[in-house]
Chain A
Amino acid sequence: MYQYDQHDQSIVDARVDEFRDQVQRRLAGQMTEDQFKPLRLMNGLYLQLHAYMLRVAIPYGTLSSRQMRMLGHIARRYDRGYGHFTTRQNIQYNWIKLEDAPDILAELATVEMHAIQTSGNCIRNISSDQYAGAAADEVADPRPWAELIRQWSTFHPEFSYLPRKFKIAVIASDEDRAAMRLHDIGIQLVRQDGQLGAKVFVGGGMGRTPMIAPEIGAFVPADDLMSYLEACLRVYNRYGRRDNIYKARIKILVHELGADEYRRQVADEFAHVKSLGIDPPLAELERITAFFAPPPYAADAPEGVDRSDPDFAVWLDQNVKPHQQAGHAIVNISLKPIGGIPGDATADQIDLMADLAERYSHDELRVTHAQNIVLPHVREADLYTVYQALADAGLAEPNLDLITDIIACPGLDYCSLANARSIPIAQKIATRFADRGRQRELGELKLKISGCINACGHHHAGHIGILGVDKKGTENYQLLLGGSGAEDVSLGKITGPGFDEDGVVDAIERVTDKYLQTREPGERFLDTYRRVGFQPFKEAIYG
């Protein structure tokens, strides 16, 4: 894992001092709320329906046990004893007092954490593959590149007042576990003639106008990457729309210019920017990469697992994934217990996960964009012990990528932008499909719920998506089918008229019934949908 040197630490410490100063000026009435808003937003502090919400950055979703324990401590001391892991691999606290926020940041800084640029119209926390460094299919660990980009983008003086927020993801496998092409910039590390470089996609996103990012840079070498990103951002900062907040994301600029014209403008800007000498030397990438060296795996870790406990076997098959190192495995901890709030964890659960990581996963945890937690490096011989500890804490739901592994935004229960509640819908769906045999029969089925058109719950990318809208003062839920945030990326299509809360659960059941009747051997729901098309499902829903 990356460790701060004195420079990194001094920047984060200065940020704590700066935000304390800003909060004091706000509380003293020296700033209006309108002037304070962009400052607090650039530090992840939102004013929500009931209280302030603080979003803490977890760069590329990687954290140590010590950092995880700090997240539990903050939940306990400053919130109501829980935190909410987000689709951007961060954590948010929903019940924060403004006057406590500087102290929280000071505590975070003691474990090399912060809330820098977790909101606002700036470059946000860099996201990545939750299996980075452990996945069997990666060409390299993407996190050193993500860290390089994190440093470049932190307090970037030119790009802190962009037309709109800006999200970057970095992956290094053909299998996309990070919804890479639904980011403003998506980067896939690839090898070309033995050299590692970045394939750069620009202009993806969800929100009210979902778009899949086209490829803009086919192969950008490591020592050109900062200049290339600077060029991408400068074109956007100068020409992205500022007249309409709903058209201000870079996806609209790329769409309106066309990918070819945007690529040409970036190439022109790059030719200039490259002459400025802003790229760090390759030695800096090497320095960072050294922090991400593989942990000291036990060389003789035995392979094979005793499956005699049937509940354990179910969990093993669903939540545990192959590791690049023999005798090891990747453990997914579901934060989607049936009837729970997707992504929520109590302080005690956070502490337990930290303890397990320390003892059994080389001190490392990951947060996934699907709002689960990963122990990336567990010996197969330890899997049963880990499972039992998780089960005792209500953290062993064997539902990874099944219909109850639902992504949901906070919705109208917390969010000031929402039109409808998301959490109760997720709870109803999970309860309806709670039977484990039934879930496994349905197989991989990614269900995603957003409580408004801003799409924080990724409904466009759900195999089944749900969008909550306000229809003449009552909550109404539209159903979408056929989206995907993976390497087979696609955008879901709205089925037709929306439903009320119970109606949408019934409609989902008609969809899954239709799938079971129609599928061919080996087909996931998404495969069947793509083969037979939209119409049979529409008929099943509306009769």
Chain B
Amino acid sequence: MADPDQTSIGGEPQLRFRDDTPVEEPAVTLDSFVAAGGQTNSNAVRLEAGDDARALLPHLDHIALVEVGFPTFRDGRGYSAARILREAGYKGELRAAGDVLVDQIPFMRRCGFDSFAPEAEIDAAALRRALDRYEHHYQPAADPAVPVWKLRHG
């Protein structure tokens, strides 16, 4: 797994697992993006936890960044939003923002998130350990991990 670029500039993602150039423009809300039929100047959209990620599916070609808000670490709707976008073929940046804790990032990576803007700083060493810890996963998700059943049966 590639080492994340660590930055601590306000407003920038603290952790990014991509090599392309970050989107500079501020993200627009889902409502305004959909109201404009995807024809806005922005190619960055912000999804709140209760937003329907499927509303973005007709517009994925015009989007370079989707930021998903986590109002509290207990609110797990964003995990489904991420998988829905990746399952639909979205290749752009997918950022988890808000109350994101180090122990959640491995699950979020598996659901397709590839950048993180946590409210509180993430301990780099703890994150490194968390991301390297599990060699095997039982179920397929939105990451390239091969499920255990496939290792067993080819």
A: residues with CB less than 8 A from B are: 5, 7-8, 10-11, 14, 17-18, 21-22, 25, 30, 35, 38-39, 121, 151-152, 154-163, 226, 234, 237-238, 242, 272, 276-278, 280-281, 283-284, 287
7 A-B residue pairings within 8 Å (CB atoms): A18-B103, A157-B137, A157-B141, A160-B79, A237-B77, A280-B147, A284-B152
Q: Pick the contact of B141: A5, A21, A121, A158 (CB < 8 A).
A: A158
- Count of A-B contacts judged by CB separation below 8 Å: 104
**Residues of chain B with a CB closer than 8 A to A8's CB:** 148
In the complex the two chains form, is A25's CB within 8 Å of B126's CB?
A: yes
A277 to B106, CA, bound (A): 22
A121 to B75, CA, bound (A): 10
Closest chain B CB from A5 CB (angstroms)? 7
In the complex the two chains form, is B151's CB within 8 Å of A281's CB?
A: no
A39 to B65, CA, bound (A): 30
Interface residues on B, range: 35 or more
The secondary-structure label for the interface of chain B is helix
**Residues of chain A with a CB closer than 8 A to B73's CB:** 35, 38, 161
A283 to B133, CA, bound (A): 28
**Residues of chain B with a CB closer than 8 A to A278's CB:** 139-140, 147
In the complex the two chains form, is A160's CB within 8 Å of B76's CB?
A: yes
Closest chain B CB from A426 CB (angstroms)? 34
In the complex the two chains form, is B151's CB within 8 Å of A14's CB?
A: no
A369 to B133, CA, bound (A): 34
Q: Mark B121-134, 1 if CB is under 8 A from A, else 0.
A: 00100100110011
B: residues with CB less than 8 A from A are: 73-77, 79-80, 83, 87, 101, 103-104, 106-108, 110-111, 123, 126, 129-130, 133-141, 147-149, 151-153
Query: Which A-chain residue is minimally distant from B123 (CB atoms)?
Result: A30
Q: Pick the contact of A10: B77, B107, B136 (CB < 8 A).
A: B136
**Residues of chain A with a CB closer than 8 A to B74's CB:** 38, 121, 161, 242
A18 to B134, CA, bound (A): 9
In the complex the two chains form, is A237's CB within 8 Å of B103's CB?
A: no
**Residues of chain B with a CB closer than 8 A to A156's CB:** 139
Beyond A10-B136, A11-B134, A157-B110, list 5 extra A-B contacts (CB 8 Å): A151-B139, A155-B134, A277-B140, A280-B147, A281-B153
**Residues of chain B with a CB closer than 8 A to A283's CB:** 153
Q: Pick the contact of B135: A14, A38, A121, A157 (CB < 8 A).
A: A14
Query: Which B-chain residue is minimally distant from A42 (CB atoms)?
Result: B103
In the complex the two chains form, is B138's CB within 8 Å of A11's CB?
A: yes
Q: Pick the contact of B138: A30, A151, A163, A287 (CB < 8 A).
A: A151
In the complex the two chains form, is B152's CB within 8 Å of A5's CB?
A: yes
A31 to B147, CA, bound (A): 31
